[in-house]
Structure 1
């Protein structure tokens, strides 16, 4: 009896193996997702539950993403609201597990240095062309604080330079210390910004900025230079985009170096452009759009319609 049972068991195992070998569609489905790095099966859309991980609802990139969803006919996709910190935390978790994820992204940002990421092509230009980060000041600042005005007007740097401060902060340095360390190590960059400017004696200034890694870096650097090199006492206010622009427009805030134009803050510029002074770009060639890890095998936002 034992011999017969053993023979039946062996024959059953052989039959299972044979059936699996003869069913390539089943084999294919169990390995699906390998091209995207996902652990599940199905399309990229199915694996990410047709969700795009966004940031705070007031951000211009969220409005542009809503437009992109319409432009590309992605009616079954949903934009998830959150924050920049929540977005990067979700991205980090997905990459550690080599899972697919689609986020709203922008450069400059430290995540492009830490992870291997790529923008999805945007042939319909839902996100516009390359943007710039501008310095915008209140009316009358030139007359009231000519030293600060001149410094802010001269201030201009690169995404690589900003990235050094962002990376230091992301690795655990306090924003103030990261800015100080960078400034002390790059006196040749700072020198033209403050050349021939006479320091004041404790004059007060207010700056405002949105809570993006890029703007945390730039505002802390500007605050450090204004205080350590030019004698100002600076208050830096972290606010949402609306209050940031409103504060400069009504004169409660002296300046912001965090105005993304012409797309991200287009609505605020349209509303307040006659109430503020634009000193021009402090950084050029910045970009916004949909971003994915490089291991995801899609190239364009158009590909999401088929996924």
Structure 2
């Protein structure tokens, strides 16, 4: 007689071994790919190793780059990491390419910036507050401007807008519109705000004004907007891109009219301390700015401390 009981035991054992084998394969796959397991736990991924322990920065000397370099010293898990410097445009290109391929990347970031409107990004928490808190973008002019060119002084003094305004202009420029045209388009659609900047001023006849700015997307936007507003009031406006140090020095020495590109208290803090006695601070033209380390949302980390130390 066929022993059905024995057959049942053997079959059950075989199914158990098959199931165990499949489970082992899935577990090994999870460890390799870093996918989430069914119970919601996430396997560890060494993003640092994939990125060569490199933070993608912008121009050398920029405050956010200096803070990132400080972070590699302050955070034990960032020892051995390097901050690569190039330009804000190169950083944005590298970020876009990484996102297109869903690869890990850490960049020196700041707000306002069009990349936050275009991509799904997040700041990494900074428990040691190396990057500071909220920043302001301030307007600085050369001493004596109020007496010599009162209408220019008043427009620059009254210039004030919000992050969403700046990001609107930046995004249009990033999509291929020239900075001048993007500025003109924004002015046309926000005439009430522009009128508040020129309120109490008189039109002039080709009075010369030179504004300087660091070649960041945010400052390209703001400087072109205020330049176009001043042109409509009759000013002969020149805008000149400079590195951070020369930008501050040119205002402090009186070589140029001013700038609307002073990030404080952290980003340009050292330069402000160096030149504060030789410039006139007209206050914030934009509040709520921020700097820090930025990653794509798909990266499964939330803090600088979540990054792995260099091996």
Q: TM-score, normalised by structure 2?
A: 0.87
CA distance in 2, matches of 1:128, 1:305: 22
Unaligned segments of structure 1, at least 5 residues:
1-17, 36-40
Per-residue deviation, residues 19-74 of structure 1 (Å, max 9, x unmatched): 88755664234323679xxxxx9411111111110011110111111111111121
Task: Rate the CA distance shift 1:23–1:178 in 2: closer, same or farther, 3 A.
Answer: closer
Map of 1:1-307 to 2, 5 A cutoff? 22=24, 26-32=28-34, 42-73=45-76, 74-228=78-232, 230-305=233-308
CA distance in 2, matches of 1:28, 1:306: 22
SS at match of 1:274: helix
Instruction: Tell me how far apart the structure 1 counterparts of residues 121 and 102 of structure 2 sit (CA, whole Å).
Output: 12
1:153-184 CA distances to partner (integer Å, 9 max, x unpaired)? 11100000111111110111000000011101
The question of whether the paired residues in 2 share the 8 Å contact of 1:20 and 1:27 is answered with no
CA separation in 2, counterparts of 1:62 and 1:22?
45
| Rounded Cα–Cα distance in structure 2 between residues aligned with 1:22 and 1:194 | 71
TM-score by length of 1: 0.89
**Aligned residue-pair number:** 285
CA distance in structure 2 between the partners assigned to 1:166 and 1:98 by the alignment:
24
2:11 aligns with none
Three-state SS of the structure 1 residue aligned to 2:307 is helix
RMSD: 1.9
2:267 partner SS: coil
Contact 1:205 1:233 in 2 (8 A): yes
